[in-house]
Amino acid sequence: MTRNLLHMTWQILLLWLLFRLGSYLVDLLGVSLPGNVAGMLILFALLSTGVVKPALVETGGGFLLKHFAFFFIPISVGLMAFGALMRQSGVALLAILALSAMVGMAVTGISVEFLHKRSSR
């Protein structure tokens, strides 16, 4: 149990270092990419080239992914600041967001489903 916890902490620290590395490189090169996505691409490259074995980050990474949704709760609470705007034009804005989300979802979902069926035939 204690060993497992230590293992997980160390792996999360490793993932955090990759996140910082990604953020640093993005800043340095002036690319329009968030540091976390850059870190993800770096880790993917390290895994694909075999430099890093999946087992090295699997325990900590698996834990963070299992609770991925958690991180969006504190962020969503920020919606509280927009009470006035929501009372004024909330219905219109929600309608726009819902409609455009469904359009995007349908376009991606249907086109990939279609291309996928065709390519796997």
Please list every residue from 57 through 116 that binds another protein, using CB under 8 A: 57-58, 60-62, 64-65, 67-82, 85, 89, 92-113, 115-116
The C-alpha angle with vertex 13 and arms to 38 and 69, in degrees rounded to 5, equals: 65
CB of 56 to another protein, least distance (A): 10
Q: Considering the rule CB under 8 A, would residue 32 count as an interface residue with another protein? A: yes
Output the CA–CA distances (angstroms, integers) from residue 111 to 99, 115, 116, in the order listed.
18, 6, 8
Q: Considering the rule CB under 8 A, would residue 6 count as an interface residue with another protein? A: no
CB of 58 to another protein, least distance (A): 7
Q: Residue type for 58, please?
A: E
Q: Find out whether 86 and 93 touch, Cβ atoms under 8 Å.
A: yes
CB of 3 to another protein, least distance (A): 21
